Amino acid sequence: MNIIIADSYRQLSDTAAEIVANQIKNKPDTVLGLATGSSPLGLYDALAKMCEDGKIDFSRVRTVNLDEYVGLAPDHPQSYRYFMDKNLFDRINIRREMTKVPDGLASDTDAFCKDYDSYIDSLGGIDLQVLGIGPDGHIGFNEPDGHFTAATHVAELDPSTVDANSRFFESRDEVPKTAITMGMRAIMQAKKILLIAPGKAKKEILFKALEGDITPRIPASVLQLHRDVTVIYSDENR
Ligand code: F6R
């Protein structure tokens, strides 16, 4: 595992953007796994800037996102589809049909989850997966549990996750309590993983996940078993 301690959030984001840009230069039809939340915002700004400056070409890149709230329409301002369009996809030269975010309105979620995994498989898996880490150690919305869940599935959000995410909603009651999340199989089968963790609040859980026991009670701890993980931490938050 490659652990990078950045001096600032800006440096964390620029370092992460270099890693993504190199990946795309080496493989123009890269399959990128993407995360939402505040951690990757600086990364997405840096990628948008590189694209504007002609330093990176997304025309052949395919993306798959980790998760989406159940019940939120793609145009809901708190949906992850809306987040991705606004913070990245609308700012780069990627075609919308090359971007996938789980469908929060899928009527048959079980069938949707199976199809999502089949889609990822049909792309040959993920080349580079970007991850954040939640306060309880979640990755995607793989929450602490008695076991790891391999497949894409509907997850009940941990109360600490609902609390953390309520900052984006008018009230805690409005935060959806379930989400579709990529499971551990697609994440762990990614050829490379890039975990970005800005802010002192992430330090303790990050340390437990990377140095402690491998346990589904701290889902990110499974990353210790992956052969190519880069972690970028900065004391400074976004
Ligand atoms: C979001 C996701 C989550 C976040 C995590 C950290 O797509 O997969 O696991 O990465 O909740 O969120 P932030 O970055 O807002 O601290």
Catalytic residue among 14, 143, 153, 158: 143
Residue with tokens 């190519």: 228
- Ligand 1: atom nearest CA of 138 is 9
CA–CA separation, 35 and 52 (whole Å): 21
Output the CA 99–ligand 1 centroid distance in Å: 19
The H or E element spanning position 211 is: helix 203-211
**Parallel, antiparallel or unpaired: strands 62-65 and 31-34:** parallel
Of residues 116, 141, 137, 111, the one with CA closest to residue 126: 116
90-148 pLDDT, tens digit each: 999 999 999 999 999 999 999 999 999 999 999 999 999 999 999 999 999 999 999 99
pLDDT score, position 170: 92
Q: Which of 60, 70, 35, 88 is nearest to 197 (CA)?
A: 35
Mean pLDDT along residues 17-25: 98
Q: Cβ atoms within 10 A of the Cβ of 24, count?
A: 21
Mean pLDDT over 201-220 rounds to 97
From 14, 127, 138, 153, active-site residue = 138
In a 3-state reduction of DSSP, which class is residue 218? coil
Q: Which residue has the tokens 């370092």?
A: 15
Residue 133, strand partner residues = none
pTM here is 0.97
pLDDT, mean of residues 69-78:
96
- Provide the pLDDT for residue 100: 98
